[in-house]
Amino acid sequence: MRSFFLPMLLVIMLSSKALGWGIDAEFNDDIYAQTSLAAKAIKAGVVRYCLDISPAVQNQFTEENTKRTAEWALQAWLSALGALQPPAARVEYVPCSGKKDLRIIIGSAASDPTANGADTQYVTVSADPGENSIDVRLDTDYVWHETRDVSGATNGDYRWHSIADFVEPGQTLDSLIARLAGSERLTLDQFAQERKVAHPYVFWTDYVVFLHEFGHAFGLCDTVDGLFQRYCDARYVSQGEQPSSVMKDSNFFYLTDDDLQGLKALAGRLQQKVQ
């Protein structure tokens, strides 16, 4: 399975309507379902992840900053899942050479380029879910060319960069994300206006893509028209139109009510599968 991360501005341009939360159609396959991070968290109580950062971009995406950023995004989903099915699973950093549940790949994808800058792939090589894992890839070759004169999105080229680039003097990466995702719960629009930068410059950050792609790794699908029909199980979706959310347009540093409703439905469906 491959789930693509669509730029919010592209989503708005291509789709006038989006359905609500949805569960990925491939959850009908038990091996696939039990490989999901939601299943691993419920059954094992731990999600093991590793980083595979290309040497060419290690100055831009340092190991320490990327670990902190990834763990904030993972904990957002795990804390919400733990509130539904306590206790919350813990996060464990492991080498990529050993057993893992999630591998985060950051670097050039010239040999296998992504369509929209990032993707999520379930790597199911065994009937034993413990041997399977998920790859979330951020393609640093990808460039978003903004040329449409959209308000708040200055024309130009935008590439992936670290949310750590927004850390100000006297501030830490943890305190920045805690403010954005917790104490003040800002949207990307609000933060872009606060920092007086173009919306795409905030959008194309690692934390934003991790939060969205980890939603796929837990088992939720994109709900934009077109992708919804292709990837979502029509039996497990909300009805009507979806408000802006992480799994729709990624305009948030935190999980919205719609994202949480999708996770709740997902947890209920998985409960019997992982017993």
pTM reported for the whole predicted model: 0.90
Q: Is residue 275 part of a domain?
A: no
Token readout for 100 is 């893992």
Paired residues of 158 in beta bridges = 144
HSE at residue 12, side-chain half, CA atoms within 13 A, is: 13
Contacts of 65 (CB under 8 A, 6+ apart): 162, 164, 173
Per the domain annotation, does 274 fall within a domain?
no
- On whether residue 270 sits in a domain, the answer given is no
Q: Is the pLDDT of residue 262 over 80?
A: yes
pLDDT at 52: 97
| Tens of pLDDT, residues 218-261 | 999 887 766 666 677 877 777 667 678 999 889 999 999 989 99
Instruction: For residue 17, name the pLDDT band (cuts at 50, 70, 90).
Output: very low
Q: Tell me if 273 is assigned to some domain.
A: no
200, exposed or middle or buried, with CB in 10 Å at 0-12, 13-18, 19+? buried
* Any domain includes 231: yes
Structural domains in the chain (count): 1
- Rounded CA separation 142/203 (Å): 14
The mean pLDDT value of the chain amounts to: 86
Q: With pLDDT > 90 as the criterion, what percentage of the chain qualifies?
A: 62
What pLDDT is recorded for position 272?
A: 63
Higher pLDDT: 245 or 75? It is 75
Question: Is the predicted pLDDT of residue 209 greater than 80, yes or no?
Answer: yes
pLDDT at residue 10, as a whole number = 37
The reply to whether 254 falls in a domain is yes
Give CA angle at 10 (186, 222), nearest 5°.
Answer: 75
State residue 114's pLDDT score: 55
Helical ranges in the chain per DSSP H: 8-14, 30-35, 37-44, 63-84, 173-178, 188-195, 199-203, 206-218, 227-231, 257-273
Question: What is the Cα–Cα distance from 45 to 62, expressed in whole angstroms?
Answer: 28
Amino acid (one-letter) located at 94 = V
- Per-residue model confidence as pLDDT tens digits over 139-185: 999 999 888 777 777 889 999 999 999 999 999 999 999 999 999 99
Residue 32 pLDDT exceeds 90: no
For residue 234, tell me if it sits in a domain.
yes
The pLDDT assigned to 113 comes to 56
Q: Is the pLDDT of residue 9 over 50?
A: no
Residue 174 lies in a domain: yes
Confidence of residue 274 (pLDDT cuts 50, 70, 90): low
What CATH number does the domain containing 57 carry? 3.40.390.10
Mean pLDDT in residue range 2-14: 40
Q: What is the pLDDT of residues 93-143, one digit of tens each?
A: 999 999 999 999 999 875 565 557 899 999 988 888 778 999 999 999 999
Provide the residue range defining the domain that includes 133: 2-264
Q: How many whole angstroms separate alpha carbon 235 and alpha carbon 265?
A: 11
10 Å CB burial of residue 212 (0-12, 13-18, 19+) is: buried
- The mean per-residue pLDDT over the stretch 45-65 comes to 97
